[in-house]
Structure 1
Amino acid sequence: MRKNPILLLPSLLLLTFCSKVNDQELFDKAKKELEEQKYVEAVALFDSLVTAVSSSEFAPQALFESAKIYHSEKIPNLSKEESMNKAVEYYKKLYEGYPDYKESASAMMMTGFILANELNRPEEAKVVYEEFLKKYPNSELVNSVKLELESLGLSPDEILNRLAKGTK
C-alpha cells in the first residue's frame, strides 16, 4: 500500500508548527524566569531548549543568556571560579556551535576575557584571542581583543603605566 505524500504534508506542517511554538514557548518561559530573577530555573529552561532542539532559532540566544547568567555569578552555591568556568563553557558552545550568530564574536571575546582576567589563565586566553582575530577579522571588537592580547599577564598598574606613557 502506497501512501499519498500530499496527505502527509499537513501532518508535517503541523508537526513543524508545533515544534516552533514549543521552542518559542520554552524560550519565552526562560526569559520570564530570567526577568523574575529565577536564574537557576532560567538556565534549566535554556538548557532544555538547546538540548531538545539545537537547531532552534532560539538555541544560540539561550546559550548566550546562560553564559551571561553564570558570568554575572547569579547562580547560588557556586564559587566564583565555578561560575566563570560555566560562563566560559556556555560562551564556547555558542561560538563553536553557532559561529555566524550575531553574538558569537562577543562570546569568543568574553571567553578570552574571563580566562585572562577572572580565571588567571593567560595562555588559554591568548589562544582564544588569536583565534578570534582569525575568525572575526572584521569585528568591531578587534581593537579590544588586540589590546587584551597586549595586556596579557600584566597587572592593572602595569597596564595603567603603559597607557600613561603611551606605549604598548
Structure 2
Amino acid sequence: MRALQEINERYSDTLLKYYDAIAERDKLKSGIEKQKNSMEEEIMYLKNKLSSFSDETDWAKWDSEQSLLCHEVVMRIHKHASRGKMPSASELNSLIEVVKQSLPGFYEFLSNPKYAVSDNEMLVCILTRLHFIPSEIATLLNLTKQRISNMRSGLNKKLFKTKGTKSFTANIYRL
C-alpha cells in the first residue's frame, strides 16, 4: 500500500508540474505574441513618423536598404572599421557583390564607363552609401583621410558635377 501511495504521489506531483509547464509555455507564447504585436505597432509608428520627413517614402526600398545595412558582410566590415582593421580582399569583393545584388541601379550608375570610376573610388562610394564615415573609409582602404577627402571631392565633381565634398554623401544616398 505504501509503495502504491508513493507512486501515486510522484505521479500527481509530475502531473502538476507537467500542467504548470504547459501553462507557463502558453503564457510565454502569449507574452511573445504581445511583444511582437507591440514591436510591429512601434515599427509602424516610426515609419509614419519617418514619412512625415519625406512625402514620397518608398517603404519597399527603405526595407531593402535596412536589410542591406544589417547584412552579415556589412556588419563584419563595420566591425573591422571600429577596430581599426583592414578587411581582406575577399571581404571587399563580397561587399561589392552584396551591393550589386541589393542596389543594382546604384552599382550600374557607378559602373558606367563614362564616369571611369576606379576600384578605390567605387569602394569609397559603396562605403559612403553604407554609412561609413570618411575616417573609417580611410582605415578600411589603408589610405589617408586627406586622400579620401580628395577622392570624395573628385567623385562629387565627376559623378554629380558639384564642387567640394559637402554634398557628396547626400548625392550618393540619392542614387
With normalisation by structure 2, the TM-score equals 0.32
With normalisation by structure 1, the TM-score equals 0.33
**Structure with larger RCO (C-alpha < 8 A, sep 6+):** 2
